[in-house]
A and B are shown apart, each in its own frame.
Chain A
Amino acid sequence: MLQGRNIVEGWRSLLVHGLLALLFLILIGRYYYLMIVLHEKYAEKATANHIRAVPVLASRGVIYDRAGNLIVDNAPSYTISVIPIEVKKKPESLERLSSVMEISVEEINRRIVKNRRGSFAPAKVFSRVPFEKISHLQEHRLELIGVTYSIEPIRNYVSELDLSHALGYTREINRDDLNRFNKDSDYQPGDQVGWKGLEKFHESVLHGQRGFRYVEVNALGQEIGEVQDRAPINPIPGHDLVLSIDSYIQHTVEKALADSSGSVVILNHKTGEILAYASRPGYNLEMLSGRISSKDWEALIQDPRKPLYDRGIQGLYPAGSTLKPLAALYSLENHSNAKERTYVCRGSYRLGNRSFGCWKKVGHGKMNLHDAIQQSCNVYFFNLIQDIGIEDWAHIARDFGFGQRANIDIPGENKGLVPDTKYMNRKYGQNKWTRGNLLNIVVGQGDVLVTPLQLAQFAGMLAQRGTQFQPHFVNKVVSKNGDVIQVNISQPNDRVTASKDSWDFVHQSMWDVVNGKKGTAKAARQKDWDIYGKTGTAQNPHGEDHAWFIGFSLDERYPYSWAVLLENGGGGGGKAAPLIGKVLRNIAKRPS
């Protein structure tokens, strides 16, 4: 070793050593803090960085008729989505997509904004895309960077039945519903949600719960593959609905209705099950499910026949003479001489200086209660109501379910209207209304408003002598593996009590409406079973009168009650009764 003085002072060497040690201690401290102290925080962040949960849609519950025949199931449909960040980098993609889909770039951008779930997640822009378009896109995929398509299930209407209003449709969830639902559910923008009818009412049952699969993504948001050590959460499919609808009866009703506007409701009065439900005109469910073009939507809204309007539960009509059994039953129960009292019908009833006409201009002559029901004499009931009064009449009407919702399991029901003193005072002013208004009410005109469903329920209660069974569409909710989740059995509810004698009398009168020589509904008569009924004509200030026919069968094989409404159908006996006659004949001919 060479000896000699060092050329550098010791302190300079120490200082450099010290500087080195200091800098390295800073580094070690920093790495320790980052990798040991903050380890957990960053471990989570790293996971969130590269693992993405991809939702897997739950298949929506399907819908069966009462016999287990499919009415609605799901079919695959192509959906086109774009990845916002990628089309932002390549705007040509959107132009290409716009020309293929024949929709403006602005509209596509609007949909991206609406369905956006982040820059890297695909935002849905087209649903129910025809396969030709998809293959077209596939050919041009190199010019369509950032455009992806996927298959997702949509509603498929398997049966030929036109149950549009009862079934309702699904639609893409909107922001409001998203906010409302999302407290306790897992909806996301772009999801389908029941929008009308059973689809809406039973949304929570049909919807199911989405699942997730976990994929690894890189910094560009591209999927690398499935994550191995994280099991996917399988979607829970929605439950299926088994309806009370009887496809055979429904089909028969639809055939009989053909192109008429109106509504038919047939229910089993021993159970409350709705067997057939029609509101005409209906609409094309396939067109409304998913995304409907604004042109088609405008056309539907503007259609003067109002196809979107569910006449069965929303249509408010004067009940016409179908309500006469109400007053009759009241009289039988409260007037000792009900069956014997007679009034003479000369075609009209004079009240002060006003004249109230009977439908039979020449008059029915001397009438008793039975004949007045059978022949639907207005003048008889004009006289009778004077002895009843509006309060008692309103009371019994409400007992039969008028003026209130039937609480059926589809949304949108109207309450109808049963006028009472309070209502009349409010509408016309204290004591400003007259007995004339009362006359209108007893024959189901003027202020009285009912829905076809209410009248069918009324017919059912007449058949069951005052006992009501809550009408319903869904008999059972069944899980995908066949477990019965819920059974709907309506409990009997004795809402109107009257003596057997009174019921017998009403039944006999209604039997005579169909079967008597002078009955107004002879067209509903059946060969080997008894039909009971009552016709009605609802005056329509806007055009020809609406025709009503309500009735029931007490035959053990056919415990059915119904209401038929034909808009602008004229007299009830004329068109509504033959329609149900035809339907009932077909029911009797049903192949076993």
Chain B
Amino acid sequence: MNIKSYIIVKLKELEWSTLILVVLLSVSGLTAIYSIEAQHESSSDYFFRQSIWTVVGIGLFLTAYFIPRKVLHNFTYPAYGFGILLLLVPILMKSSGAVSRWIMFGSIGIQPSEFMKIFLLLAHAKYFADHKRKLSNIKEIMTPVAMTLGPTILVLAQPDLGTALTYFGILIVIIFWAGIKPLHFFLLLAPILSMLASFQTLSFFIWMGVIIVILYFNHLPFWTKTLNFIINVGLGGITNLLWALLKPYQQQRILSMIDSDSDPLGAGYQVSQSLTAFGSGGPFGKGLGEGTQTHLKFLPEQHTDFIMTVIGEEFGFVGVMVVITLFYLLIAKLITQAYNSKFRFDSVILIGITSIYIFHVFVNLGMIVGIMPVTGIPLPFISYGGSFMITSMILAGLSANMSSVRRAVG
């Protein structure tokens, strides 16, 4: 098959709906950035830059769409290695104590941790596709866990908890999708949940009850069950004990160590201002450029992580619902495509992309209205930022590629 006919077939197969959803979301983001900028006297060029990133992003969407599956397949592990190297650059360039997330090319900075999401995703897909692994043996998840831990440690060194959690989110969804047994899945997740539950007595005891019931009704060697239970109780207890021993300022220091974005006073202020912006927006909003909360600098970071506050304040509940609906359509379609896919490689990539979108959308939209902790998680296609825009676009292009390739090649 020559390149020309490949491109023609691919173009015919392109699911325009994905591209349209992505463009609509990008336009929402550009509108919000435009609104912020129109009100500011200082000549920031966020809108201009983001427009460029969007155009570049659409180009990369198409590029990702046209890359033949074989090529992807072959370059997956080298790409993963390249990603790890990129993550090392900021650490090696570390000067004066502060580790940057950025690699600077002149005035343009890129965040390797964003691109790492793509490489990690591909590596998982290849691993599960190549060996037809169905995770019937719990040992089979060791490789994906190791592949995830590498970049996670490098990202935590920055420190950037949000991105590290995204990597783990991808892992969890993928191993679930790849066929891990429910019990294994449960035993894997239980220790993490035990640690989280330990911060509140009642929830901890309920959770322990759940563990006992599940262990009791499953066929496992007695000692495995006992060991598992002891591990969960122990982890919860130790976490709780260690945490309680710390003075509040030490707890605070640890929180900001894990995540430089977490500044509870600042975050509390931001969220309170953000709630005011949404609440005052009401059903239909104040109109484009009329948001007082956002334009009077009550909200810092408004063009990045808190970008939705502009849409909420100026276009109201209706505007927010439009954006949420666009995201829902995009993600739900991905899940369906992942399910319908006949190739493990494609399916795992599609569900990995799904996990990235769900994680970003829920954490971001949740944190700005106070139901998730404030971590630096941007909103795909909408938040200002080149690296993340490009990553999101490439992911979208990949998803379109993966859902069409079945016909083009098959």
A residues whose Cβ falls under 8 Å from a Cβ of B: 1-2, 4, 6-10, 12-13, 15-17, 19-20, 23-24, 26-28, 30-32, 34-36, 38-39, 41-43, 45-47, 49-50, 216-220, 224
Contacts and interface: CB of A to CB of B under 8 A. Distances in A.
B358 to A, nearest CB: 6
Contacts of B297: 218-220
Given A27-B366, A42-B276, A46-B277, A35 B282 contact: yes
Contacts of B358: 19-20, 23
A24 B324 contact: yes
Interface string B238-280: 0000000000000000000000000000000000010111111
B236 interface: no
A224 B317 contact: no
Contacts of A224: 296
Given A7-B347, A39-B279, A220-B297, 5 more contacts: A7-B341, A16-B173, A23-B362, A31-B321, A46-B280
A20 B335 contact: yes
Interface string B277-293: 11111110000000011
A2 B343 CA distance: 11
Nearest to A6: B339
A45 to B, nearest CB: 5
| Count class of interface residues, chain B | 35 or more
A7 B296 contact: no
A6 B279 contact: no
Nearest to B285: A35
Contact of A12 (B177, B298, B365, B407): B177
Contacts of B179: 8-9, 12
B49 interface: no
B158 to A, nearest CB: 27
A16 B354 contact: yes
A45 B276 contact: yes
A202 B351 CA distance: 82
A58 B179 CA distance: 79
B342 A8 contact: no
B221 to A, nearest CB: 26
27 contacts: A6-B340, A6-B342, A7-B342, A7-B343, A7-B344, A8-B338, A8-B347, A9-B179, A10-B339, A12-B176, A13-B336, A16-B354, A26-B371, A27-B324, A28-B321, A31-B317, A31-B369, A35-B282, A35-B312, A42-B278, A42-B280, A46-B277, A46-B280, A49-B273, A219-B298, A219-B299, A224-B296
Contact of B342 (A2, A17, A23): A2
Contacts of B332: 17, 20
A12 B339 CA distance: 9
A28 B279 CA distance: 14
Contact of A46 (B177, B292, B338, B343): B292
B347 to A, nearest CB: 6
B296 A217 contact: yes
A35 B278 contact: yes
Contacts of B292: 46-47, 49-50, 216
A30 B369 CA distance: 8
B317 A16 contact: no
A46 B312 CA distance: 13
Nearest to B343: A7
B184 interface: no
A43 B338 contact: no
A35 B281 contact: yes
Q: Sorted from nearest, which 3 A-B pairs have the closest CB atoms?
A: A42-B279, A46-B280, A13-B339
Contact of B331 (A12, A15, A20, A26): A20
Contacts of A34: 275, 278-279, 369
B355 to A, nearest CB: 9
A376 to B, nearest CB: 82
Contacts of A8: 177, 179, 338-339, 347
B307 interface: no
B283 A36 contact: yes
B316 interface: yes
Contacts of A7: 341-344, 347
B406 interface: yes
A45 B362 CA distance: 26
B172 to A, nearest CB: 11
B361 to A, nearest CB: 8
A36 B282 CA distance: 6
B410 interface: yes
Contacts of B324: 24, 27-28, 31
A45 B292 CA distance: 11
Given A7-B344, A35-B316, A49 B338 contact: no
Contacts of A2: 342, 406-407, 410
Contacts of B320: 31, 35
B16 interface: no
A48 to B, nearest CB: 9
B328 interface: yes
B42 to A, nearest CB: 13
Nearest to B359: A23
B339 A218 contact: no
A17 B327 CA distance: 13
A156 B331 CA distance: 75
A449 to B, nearest CB: 66
A42 B271 CA distance: 13
A27 B362 contact: yes
Contacts of A50: 292-293, 296, 298
B391 to A, nearest CB: 20
Nearest to B312: A35
B186 to A, nearest CB: 13
Nearest to A32: B317
A355 to B, nearest CB: 89
A357 to B, nearest CB: 86
B279 A35 contact: yes
A1 B312 CA distance: 42
B335 A17 contact: yes
B277 A16 contact: no
Contacts of A32: 317
A30 to B, nearest CB: 5
B369 A13 contact: no
B291 to A, nearest CB: 9
Contacts of B298: 49-50, 218-219
A255 to B, nearest CB: 63
Contacts of A12: 176-177, 179
A573 to B, nearest CB: 79
Interface string B151-189: 000000000000000000000010011010000000000
Interface string B378-410: 000000000000000000000000000011001
A212 B177 CA distance: 64
Contacts of B342: 2, 4, 6-7
A31 B371 CA distance: 11
Contacts of B365: 27, 31
Given A7-B344, A23-B362, A42-B278, A35 B296 contact: no
A217 to B, nearest CB: 7
A32 B279 CA distance: 9
Contacts of A6: 339-340, 342
Of the candidates A32, A216, A219, A224, the one having the most CB atoms from chain B within 10 angstroms of its own CB is A219
Interface string B301-345: 000000000001000110011001001100110011011111110
